[in-house]
Amino acid sequence: MAKNGVVIHYLRTAMKKEIVLSGIRPTGFLHLGNYFGAMRNYVRMQDEYDCYFFVANWHSLTTHPDTKTLQESVLRVVAENIACGLDPEKVSLYVQSDVPEIAELYLYLNMLAYKGELEKTTTFKDKVRMQPENVNAGLLTYPVLQAADILIHRAVKVPVGKDQEQNLEMARNFAERFNHRYGETFPLPYAFNYNSELVKIMGLDGIGKMSKSENQMTTLFLADEDDMIRLKVKKAKTDSGPLAPNSAKPDYIQNLFTLMGLVSSADTVKKFEDDFNNSSEGNCIIRYGDMKKQLAEDMVNFINPIRTKALDLQNNKELLLKIIRQGADKARTSASATLSTVRKAVGMEYL
Ligand code: ADP
Ligand code: TRP
């Protein structure tokens, strides 16, 4: 009997799914970069892993102190995640501020984070440049709060875009420091993408990364109307075409091919690749106008169902509130178990 018990325990441990966590800040409308850098992986991971996904509303206060539209944005992010295929019955989908355990872990981790290393992070330096009038302590300790988000569930895989690599490295450093000082408590988390390479989707001008706050005309939002998508794609930068067969593609052209690779059929991509490679001076086969028309229609077909489903969900606030309540319950069960271990390790339990 005892032997059976041991075997069952062993099997349970061996079968235990790895823990996955990721978050998105509710600082605007979600776009194609969020989808291909993060959400597409969330959806694929939900069957294989024990998943926690959340809306980082505390993080958004570091750059967006005005909270008039915050709740609306939080619910929209939840709706858009579900519209992209997340199943709230399979994962825990919650709002950061509904899990106060994260804030306590953030406090302990803050004692292990040094001013010098925080000041050196790229995102902090960028934000200082962007908002010199509001260099708050929350901005400085942003990576510490992010580490608390991850470690509170003892997550090991964190599906994020390439821009988050440094924050993940810092989370590992804080976890290692905690383990070293207070005893082995946290596994080390890593940024994750199915194709091993982290993704970076560029804006339609091929210059900066597509982002919620950069140039709105070069970002394709999941909430964009069909005609707006057509207009944005039409305005994407092109040139008069290659002058020799198999030329190197300029960044902005490569970007159109990359986007096409994400939403169009393989045959379509191949046709335009062939046209590009077989073009030569006086015989430019590729017609960028046609390519952009095709890309626009495929984009519309991709985004339209997500936008429609997200809008339906946003009209059902009761359902969204029920989902985040349920998500918070699941998340707090996991978070409070970790926090209890952490409190003991740090010496906060008097028993
Ligand atoms: P934004 O940069 O637009 O404000 P967030 O910082 O909230 O978006 O990012 C949410 C998730 O989407 C993160 O995992 C981030 O790495 C990913 N992401 C954001 N923009 C891109 C992009 N252009 N390409 C790939 N992934 C991205
Ligand atoms: N910093 C992330 C971003 O800007 C959002 C985020 C907050 C996050 N906490 C996280 C991502 C924890 C992954 C894990 O995109």
Q: Decide: 210 in ligand 1 pocket, CB within 6 A.
A: yes
pLDDT digits (tens, 9 = 90+) for 251-263: 999 999 999 999 9
Q: What integer pLDDT is reported at residue 310 of this predicted model?
A: 98
pLDDT digits (tens, 9 = 90+) for 208-230: 889 887 778 999 999 999 999 99
Of ligand 1's listed atoms, the one at least distance from the Cα of 27 is: 4
1: pLDDT strictly greater than 50? no
Distance from Cα 129 to the centre of ligand 1, integer Å = 19
Residues known to be catalytic: 127, 209, 212
Least confident of 47-56, 192-201, 280-289: 192-201
Mean pLDDT of 296-315: 98
Top-confidence residue, 185 or 200: 185
Q: What integer pLDDT is reported at residue 53 of this predicted model?
A: 98
In percent, the amount of the chain with pLDDT more than 90 equals: 87
pLDDT digits (tens, 9 = 90+) for 80-98: 999 999 999 999 999 999 9
pLDDT digits (tens, 9 = 90+) for 122-146: 999 999 999 999 999 999 999 999 9
3-class SS string, the chain: CHHHHHHHHHHHHHHCCCEEEEEECCCCCCEHHHHHHHHHHHHHHCCCCEEEEEECHHHHCCCCCCCCCHHHHHHHHHHHHHHCCCCCCCCEEEEHHHCCHHHHHHHHHHCCCCHHHHHHCHHHHHHHHHCCCCCCHHHHCHHHHHHHHHHCCCCCEEECCHHHHHHHHHHHHHHHHHHHHHCCCCCCCEEECCCCCCCCCECCCCCCECCCCCCHHHCCECCCCHHHHHHHHHCCCCCCCCCCCCCCCCHHHHHHHHHHHHHCCHHHHHHHHHHHHCCECCECCCCHHHHHHHHHHHHHHHHHHHHHHHHHHHCCHHHHHHHHHHHHHHHHHHHHHHHHHHHHHHCCCCC
Structural domains present in the chain: 2-192+316-346 (3.40.50.620), 216-311 (1.10.240.10)
Q: What integer pLDDT is reported at residue 8 of this predicted model?
A: 64
The per-residue pLDDT of the chain, averaged, comes to: 94
Distance from Cα 341 to the centre of ligand 2, integer Å = 24
296: pLDDT strictly greater than 80? yes
326: pLDDT strictly greater than 70? yes
Alpha carbon distance 31, 181 (integer Å) = 41
Q: What integer pLDDT is reported at residue 37 of this predicted model?
A: 87
Q: What integer pLDDT is reported at residue 206 of this predicted model?
A: 86
Q: Decide: 150 in ligand 2 pocket, CB within 6 A.
A: yes
Distance from Cα 320 to the centre of ligand 1, integer Å = 23
Q: What integer pLDDT is reported at residue 195 of this predicted model?
A: 78
Distance from Cα 54 to the centre of ligand 2, integer Å = 9
- Out of 61, 163, 197, 255, give the residue to mutate to test ligand 1, the one with the largest number of ligand atoms within 8 Å of its CB: 163
Q: What integer pLDDT is reported at residue 110 of this predicted model?
A: 98
Q: What integer pLDDT is reported at residue 126 of this predicted model?
A: 95
| Shortest-distance Cα residue to atom 14 of ligand 1 | 160
| Shortest-distance Cα residue to atom 26 of ligand 1 | 37
- Out of 20, 27, 29, 34, give the residue to mutate to test ligand 1, the one with the largest number of ligand atoms within 8 Å of its CB: 34
Distance from Cα 37 to the centre of ligand 1, integer Å = 6
Q: Decide: 96 in ligand 1 pocket, CB within 6 A.
A: no
309: pLDDT strictly greater than 50? yes
Q: What integer pLDDT is reported at residue 215 of this predicted model?
A: 77
pLDDT digits (tens, 9 = 90+) for 11-63: 655 568 999 999 999 999 999 999 998 999 999 999 999 999 999 999 999 99
